[in-house]
Structure 1
Amino acid sequence: MPHPTPPSVLRRPRLWVGTGLIAAVVSMLFALLYVGGNVNPKGNLRDLPVALVNADSGADAGGRHVNLGEQIVAGVQKAAKGDKSIDWQLVSREEADKRLGKGKVFGALVIPKEFTATVNALGAPQPAAQGKAVPPTLTVLTNQAAGSIGSSMSSQAAQKAAHAASAQLGQELLKQAAAQKAPLPTAAQLKLADPVTVTVADGHPVGSRSAMGLSAFYYALVLVVCGMLGANLVNSQVDTALGYLHTDYGPVRKREPVQHTSRVRTLAIGMALMLGMALVMGTLVEVATVKILDMDASHLGLLWLYSVATIAVVGLGSLALFAAFGTPGMLLATIVFVAMAVPSSGATVPLQALPGFFRALAEFEPLRQITEGMRAILYYGAQADAGLSRAWASMGIALVAALAFGFAVTRLYDRRGLHRIPRPGDEPEAPAETPETPETPESTGSAANATA
């Protein structure tokens, strides 16, 4: 007799509502986070750190000592009072180089030592002296290692300040020239109107195979993704080995006998396996990027240790979420480690150009800390105060939190009897064996009477 065809699962409203609700939340959340954090960086820009260096030694003019560099600094600081987008940090050249070399500033505006002397030479009354005068120069330093967009914003702000200073000096030089008896040629007047040459240089160069300062972010993102994917793989493989899941190989389905194991022990097995996978994955990531792709990198031993530790911590954190929340934990891990992490990492758009919500996320989101540590290793000579010590501390805190949360929740489930026992029909049934009972006179008699 043919079996009736069961109704299609597509007729079930719960399937459509449940799937549609999850898809709607995920798509809306990713759109708001990814685009919302980067849609208006200039409008959100606040306190971008830029060094301001006045190395000008000044010069004597008209019987008094003049330092035009101090005038430029005063003009920049005055303009900054009405514009909070740039945090001008007045430091020495040595200190500026240190901050550039640790990613503490995104660029610098440098006033050279002979600046006043060269400007005064332009205003000399002798035309011959003017023709031989060296044009005054202001130097703008960039720092792609701190982030290409942040470095670009810093460069634009520094060049704007330099050109404004040049225009101000030009007005003063033209007044001086007008007071002279001999009128200047038009070409000379144009030269005096904008006397300063603005040059742009790299304040902290990165290698040609460093993705223009983005290799640290891409490497960190690979580590986070490997940790999440590794946790998903470990979670499914452990459940398969314990008989809670089946495995399909094409048309063949394989399932192990169910081993009823406590949730605490299941989590411990998964975490132990994740540590082993972190060693393998971290090693292969470094081999692929450094050896095969020839990415610029130094401190290879530290880079390997950092890679393994990052994958392990992300993986253990994901496993803790899986154990606590089950299938929704996978979605939660994606939101924590990817959806909220990428736009708040400060890797492409600097934190100073993000809305306040994302700046708050950056204080604890793992990808920001991981990226800062990776920058320190790849670009800043593995200096502890360049972000590496903060990254290690953050990973330590995350590791302790993952272990405490995961084992506390699973232990609570076990104590309340919420064991992972499959429901009837979820596992293959073994053929029942009825034990034979020895015959007794009473049972024999009863059987005979029943027959009769």
Structure 2
Amino acid sequence: MPHPTPPSVLRRPKLWIGTGLIAAVVSMVFALLYVGGNVNPKGNLRDLPVALVNSDSGADVNGGHINLGEQMVSGIQKAAEGDKSIDWQVVTRAEADKRLGRGKVFGALVIPADYSATVAALSAPQPAPAGKAAPPTLTVLTNQAAGSIGSSMSSQAAQKAAHAASAQLGQELLKQAGAQKTPLPTAAQLKLADPVTVTVADGHPVGPRSAMGLSAFYYALVLVVCGMLGANLVNSQVDTALGYLHTDYGPVRKREPVQHTSRVRTLAVGMVLMLGMSLVMGTLVEVATVAILDMDASHLGLLWLYSVATIAVVGIGSLALFAAFGTPGMLLATIVFVAMAVPSSGATVPVQALPGFFRALSEFEPLRQITEGLRSLLYYGAQADAGLTRAWTSMGVALVAALVFGFVVTRVYDRRGLHRIPHPDAESGAEDPAGTPKSPEAPEAPAPATA
């Protein structure tokens, strides 16, 4: 007699409701985090560090000494009192170069040593012949190594301040020229109206194969994804080797004999395997990016060690989440290492241009620390205070936290008897190690009566 066809699983409301809720939460969380962190960088901009250098030595005019550079610095600082978007840091040129070379500022506005002298030459009674007088010049320095968007914001703010200073200076020069008996030609008046030339230069150049200062972020993202994918691979392979899962090779299904293993031991096995995979994956990431793609990089030995360590820490952290939360741990790891990490990394939009929530996330989210460490390795000569020390420290803290969390939770599960498979000595009626319920033993037949 033919067996009736079982109803389709698509008719089960729980399947639709459960899957729909998970999909809804994931799509909403990713949209809010990814777009929310980057939707209004100018509106959220607060305290973007920009160096302000006054190298002006002043000039003697009409029996007195003037320093127009000091006046400009004072004017910029006064204007910044009502606008907290830029943190103007008044430093020497040497200190500015040092901060640019360590990613501490996103750019600089430099007032040259002859600024007052060149301005005074414009208002002299007998100006230099046309073509021989050097115009007053201000230099805006960018720093793509600190982030392309942050460098662009810094450049825009510095150029705005420079042009505002030029316009104000032009008004004063025109007023002085108007007091003279001989009227100035129209061309000369136009020149005096906006006398300062603003030039833009790269304050800390990066190599041509550095993705315009974004190669550190892309490399960091590859390491994080490798750590997560490696953890997923290790988790499934360990479960397969212990007999918890079967493996399909096309139409062929294979399953190992089930082994009773504690949760603590299972996690330890996975972490050891993850360390081995990190050596392979970290090596291949560097080979692919540096040897094959010819990405600009130096300190290759330290870069290799950093790559292996990053993949290992992310992988071990993911395995700890898997062990503690099971299948939902995979979603949680994705949210922690990707959804919350990317918008708070400061790699594209600077941290100073993020909303407050994402600024708080950036203090402990791993991708920011990983990216800053790679910027130090790739752009700043592996200087410890350019982000490398903080990256190694954060990595060590994260590793200890993952180990403690993972082994404490699995130890608690083991002590409470919450094993992944029942012990071989489990009571009858429970599931056997293979996952098949035991049927109760049939009662023994009574012994035959004897005469």
TM-score range, shorter chain: over 0.9
Following superposition of structure 1 onto structure 2, how do residues 20-419 of structure 1 map, counting pairs within 5 Å? 20-129=20-129, 132-419=132-419
Q: 1:5 to 1:426 in 2, by over 3 A?
A: farther
- Confirm or deny: 8 A CA contact 2:107 2:203 kept in the other structure: yes
How many residues align? The count is 441
The answer to whether the 8 Å contact 1:50/1:154 transfers is yes
Q: Which runs of 5+ in 1 are unaligned?
A: 438-442
Change (3 A) 1:353 1:431: closer
Contact 2:260 2:433 in 1 (8 A): no
In the other structure, the counterpart of 1:440 is none
Q: Which amino acid aligns with 1:64?
A: G
After superposition, give the CA deviation of every residue in 1:179-209 in whole Å (9 maximum; x if it has no partner). 2111110000000000000000000000000
1:160 to partner: Cα distance: 0.2
Aligned position for 2:427: none
Correspondence for 1:427 among 418, 430, 434: 434
Deviation at 1:132, TM superposition (A): 2.7
RMSD: 2.0
- Judged with a 3 Å threshold, the aligned counterparts in structure 2 of structure 1 residues 46 and 446 are, in CA distance, closer, same or farther, namely closer
The CA deviation at 1:427 is 3.4
Moved more, 171-180 or 376-385: 171-180
d(CA) in 2 for partners of 1:431 and 1:363?
53
Q: Which runs of 5+ in 2 are unaligned?
A: 423-429
Aligned residue identity for 2:248: D
Q: What amino acid sits opposite 1:182 in the alignment?
A: T
Between the aligned partners of 1:127 and 1:316, the Cα distance in structure 2 is: 72
Q: Find the aligned partners of 1:77 and 1:429 in 2 and give their Cα distance.
A: 76
Amino acid at match of 2:434: E
Please say if residues 122 and 130 of structure 1, whose CA atoms lie closer than 8 Å, have aligned partners that are also in contact: no
Q: Decide which structure has greater helix share.
A: 1
CA distance in 2, matches of 1:405, 1:338: 20
CA contact (8 A) 1:121 1:130 kept: no
Task: Name the CA distance, whole Å, in 2 between partners of 1:100 and 1:446.
Answer: 95
CA deviations on 1:63-85 (whole Å, 9 max, x unpaired) are 11100000110110011001100
Q: Partner of 2:113: helix, strand, or coil?
A: coil
Normalized against structure 2, the TM-score is what?
A: 0.95
Contact 2:421 2:435 in 1 (8 A): no
8 Å contact from structure 1 (residues 103, 386) kept in 2:
yes
* Deviation, structure 1 residue 131: 5.3
User: Could you tell me which residue of structure 1 aligns to residue 425 of structure 2?
Assistant: none
Output the CA distance in 1 between the equivalents of 2:403 and 2:156.
46
- Summarize deviations over 1:182-239 as a string: whole Å, max 9, x none: 1110000000000000000000000000000000000000000000000000000000
- Offset of residue 421 of structure 1: 1.0
Using structure 1 for the length normalisation, give the TM-score: 0.95
Q: Which residue of 2 aligns with 1:9?
A: 9
Q: Which runs of 4+ in 1 moved over 3 A?
A: 127-131, 422-432
